């Protein structure tokens, strides 16, 4: 892997982590808003958000392995 590909990978990972970090920061506010409508929906939202965090890195890993 050359330097530019490594740098690009780091930038993409940083963008994903910052995006999800912001999401986790605002999670209580979002869950309160959803929970006002339905507590179960708020729980489902939280679970899906956490699963999406891991799924995006899993899918990226599969994509990278497929390119090799």
Residue 2, helix vs strand vs coil: coil
Cα→Cα distances 63→17, 49, 57, Å: 18, 21, 10
Res 5: pLDDT = 67
Taking the domains of the chain in order of start, what are their residue ranges? 3-67
- CA 41 to CA 34: how far, in whole Å? 7
Res 27: pLDDT = 93
Question: Residue 1's pLDDT band (boundaries 50, 70, 90)?
Answer: low
Find the largest Cα–Cα distance for the chain.
Answer: 50
Per residue in 4-26, pLDDT tens?
668 888 898 899 889 999 999 99
């Amino acid at each position: 892997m050359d330097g530019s590909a490594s740098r690009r990978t780091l930038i993409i990972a940083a963008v994903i982590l910052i995006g999800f970090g912001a999401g986790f920061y605002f999670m209580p506010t979002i869950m309160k808003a959803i929970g006002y409508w339905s507590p179960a929906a708020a729980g489902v939202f939280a679970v899906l958000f956490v699963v999406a965090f891991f799924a995006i890195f899993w899918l990226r890993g599969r994509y990278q392995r497929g390119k090799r």
